[in-house]
Amino acid sequence: MSTTTTTETKKGGKTIVKNVYQKLMAIQTNLKAPKNLYNSFGEYNYRNAEGILEAVKPYLAEQNTVLIIEDEVKIIGEETTKGVHTDGRPIERIIPTTYIRATARFIDCETGEEVSTQAYARECEHKGMSADQCTGTASSYARKYCLNALFLLDDTKDSDTDEMKNIENASKDNVKQFNRTTKPATQNKATGGWGKQAQAQPQTQAKTTGGWGKQAQAQPQTQAKTTGGWGKQF
């Protein structure tokens, strides 16, 4: 496939003809897409797909190119969920895993030649979001990463919006709380393993066996009364 176009620029008296890749390189080199949105939970700025499109429009006109983004629903694999019926019978449901595949097509208006990139984002349920909102969220994510790949934009911290970050951290906090508190507390009650609950166990032992401490001293006195073994009681 030929990549030569009729776009000409003057440099040092010479005519330079750009192909589709040179036009893309010019945009990649000069494009500045500011991170103009703020994540209040993580306290950092980030950009979204709309911000990237707004920043790239002048460069597309300058290079006589056009950008087209397309979404496609893809079913990739499936998941099995388990539950219990009202009458106690186990229930299993097989649910297909749905993804949104975004394709960004960078097209040379003079020749029709193009360069494209693709990205996937999973469509899944989120608490407090409707089905349409879940699909829209997946589309926005896929488009954003598709544009990042096409225009070489660094997006290290931009993967999470406030809503997604809150959901992830809530899940992590629940797991940490279970590991730190619930499990050790149960073990202490059952076995006297450690901590305050472990200290209570030796005290009980002292009462029943005369092992040590103040409770251990009381045991010889009882023995002296019953046997006349030693001391004043003898």
Residue bearing the bigger pLDDT, 65 or 201: 65
The confidence score (pLDDT) of residue 171 equals 45
Residue whose pair of structure tokens reads 């449901």 in the numeric block: 93
pLDDT reading at 172 higher than 70: no
Reported as type and span, the H/E element at residue 172 is: helix 162-177
Q: What percent of the chain has pLDDT over 70?
A: 60
Taking only the tens place, the pLDDT of each residue in 176-187 is: 443 444 344 444
In whole angstroms, give the CA distance from residue 121 to residue 143: 9
Average pLDDT over residues 59-82: 94
The DSSP-derived string for 112-144 is --EEEEEEEEEE---TT--HHHHHHHHHHHHHH
The confidence score (pLDDT) of residue 38 equals 86
Average pLDDT over residues 214-224: 46
The DSSP-derived string for 15-37 is EEEEEHHHHHHHHHHH------E
The confidence score (pLDDT) of residue 165 equals 54
pLDDT reading at 138 higher than 80: yes
Instruction: Work out the pLDDT band at 4, boundaries 50, 70, 90.
Output: very low
**What are residue 96's phi and psi, to 5 degrees?**
-70, 140
Instruction: Work out the pLDDT band at 156, boundaries 50, 70, 90.
Output: low
The confidence score (pLDDT) of residue 19 equals 95
pLDDT reading at 195 higher than 60: no
The confidence score (pLDDT) of residue 16 equals 76
Instruction: Return the DSSP state at 181.
Output: I
Instruction: Work out the pLDDT band at 83, boundaries 50, 70, 90.
Output: confident
Instruction: Work out the pLDDT band at 208, boundaries 50, 70, 90.
Output: very low
Instruction: Work out the pLDDT band at 67, boundaries 50, 70, 90.
Output: very high
In whole angstroms, give the CA distance from residue 220 to residue 112: 103
Taking only the tens place, the pLDDT of each residue in 97-133 is: 999 999 999 999 999 999 999 999 998 777 778 888 8
Taking only the tens place, the pLDDT of each residue in 28-59 is: 999 998 888 888 888 888 889 999 999 999 99
